[in-house]
Each structure stands twice: as structure tokens, then as C-alpha cells.
Amino acid sequence: MRLGVLSDIHANLPALEAALEALRDEGVDEALVLGDLVGYGPHPKQVIRRLLKEGLPAIAGAWDLRVAYPLPGTLPEGVGKATLEWTRSQLAEKELDYLRSLRLSHRKIYGERRLVAFHGTPGNPESHLDLLGPANQFVPLLERYSAAVLLLGGRHLPLSRRVGMGLVADPGSVGLSLSGEPGADAMILDTETLEVRFLKVPYDLGPLIFDLRAWGLPPVLEKVYRTGRFPKED
């Protein structure tokens, strides 16, 4: 079976629409979203409504929880803090209830293989593992969940690696890719062979940039959308 995997949409509707169309063109059998539906971008309400319309299973990312709940602690000054309250103000109770309904994990068996998915790390969407780090940090996770596939969203960088007989992968970011190339990231997983293919899907930046400016959101985001990386500070 071919599973389409998306993550980190970050309220970017044109990118989400392009990624969904690409998965349809690829003929995937199912699709899954690994969280961070909102935050940063100008389309939080529209993205949630589109996902509800599509009926796609999704898990909660750190930004979904920050928007849905008044979590303790504060964000450092910067782009994230500048968009958090604005994002929350754009959502009605229906959309906030949807974010609150999201679970922290997704688990499903395909044939004889178990797939588990999280945003960040199990139980903590705020933290992230280095997918290029030592393999022994992933082996206990695969064993704990008796899983052949471990999907971890949140790093905004598409990457997959085999760990023993299992697979660990991050699909990258649909709406705020940091791969150094503009476009929406998407991943296709063959659940039988564990082969992975990454897509970089172009989309029209015009409507996104127009809405970004119209709402007065941080201009640095425009540079990220155009280049696929946050600019270095002088």
C-alpha cells in the first residue's frame, strides 16, 4: 500500500492544496498528517477546514497545542511569538475544538508491519531527535512500539533512514520547508517494501505572499517561502 505523509502545514493553504493534488496524482491509497497544522502562516482557519473536508487523520503538533491551549511558558521573541496570538484570534471555537481533539500519536498496522507516528518525540511534540544521529536512539523506540515504521514530524527537513529492519522518517514541511529549496514537501511510503520517495511540490507563492502582507505578519516569512530557509541574522 502507498501511504502519503504530510507534516508541518503551518497555515499555508496554497502549499497544502498543491501537496494534496500531488498525492492524488500519485494515486496514494491513504494519507496522514503529522501535525503543526497552524502557526506562522496566514491561513489557519482555511487549512483546518480543508483537512476536515478531506477527512484526513492528523495528530497534534507543538503549534496546534500552543494555539489550542494556554500552555505554561512563553515563546522567545521572534516570528513564532508574533504569530501565535494572531493565529488564535482567527479561529472560532469549532476550529479550536478540532485542534483540541487531535491525539499525540497515530498507530496502524499494514499487513504484518506496525506504523507509529508522532510530532517531535513520543509524548513531547516540542522536542526533536536528530534523524542523522546514532541509530541506537531509535532502536528502543521501534522496539517499545513493536514498530517497523517510526514517523517523526517537526524538523521541516525531509529525511529517511533504515534502522535495522525498521524505518525512521520525517516527511519535511508542507508549508514552511527548510530544505533550502522552495516548495511543499510530501512523502510517499510503500508500506510493504518500506521504500520512501520524497516530493518537492511547487505552488503559487502569489496568494500566500499577498495574504501574509495583508495581515501584517512578519516579513521574514516571505524570505523563507521563497528560499526554503530562514535568513541568517547579521
Q: What is the pLDDT of residues 144-169, one digit of tens each?
A: 999 999 999 999 999 999 999 999 99
Mean pLDDT in residue range 68-88: 81
User: C-alpha distances in angstroms, 47 versus 51, 108, 158, 185?
Assistant: 6, 25, 21, 16
Q: What is the pLDDT of residues 175-190, one digit of tens each?
A: 999 999 999 999 999 9
Q: What is the pLDDT of residues 21-37, one digit of tens each?
A: 999 999 999 999 999 99
* pLDDT score at 173: 98
Q: What is the pLDDT of residues 109-147, one digit of tens each?
A: 999 899 999 999 998 999 998 888 888 889 999 999 999
* pLDDT score at 80: 83
For 161, half-sphere exposure in the C-beta direction (CA atoms, 13 angstrom radius) is 16
3-state secondary structure string across the chain: CEEEEECCCCCCHHHHHHHHHHHHHHCCCEEEECCCCCCCCCCHHHHHHHHHHHCCCEECCHHHHHHHCCCCCCCCCCHHHHHHHHHHHHCCHHHHHHHHHCECEEEEEECCEEEEEEECECCECCCCCCCCCCHHHCHHHHHHCCCCEEEEECCCCCEEEEECCEEEEECCCCCCCCCCCCCEEEEEEECCCCCEEEEEECCCHHHHHHHHHHCCCCCHHHHHHHHCCCCCCC
User: Has residue 72 got a pLDDT over 70?
Assistant: no
- Report the distance separating Cα 111 and Cα 113, nearest Å: 6
127: its cell numbers: 522536542
Average pLDDT taken over every residue of the chain: 94
Share of the chain above pLDDT 90, in %: 85
- The answer to whether 182 and 225 are in contact (CB under 8 A) is yes
User: C-alpha distances in angstroms, 179 versus 30, 83, 102?
Assistant: 25, 22, 27
* pLDDT score at 234: 41
What are the phi and psi torsion angles at 94 (to 5°)? -60, -45
* pLDDT grade for 3, boundaries at 50, 70 and 90: very high
Query: pTM for the full model?
Result: 0.95
- 229: closest CA among 188, 186, 173, 191? 173
* pLDDT score at 150: 97
* Range name among 103-107, 120-124, 200-204 with the lowest pLDDT average: 120-124
* pLDDT score at 220: 93
User: Has residue 48 got a pLDDT over 50?
Assistant: yes
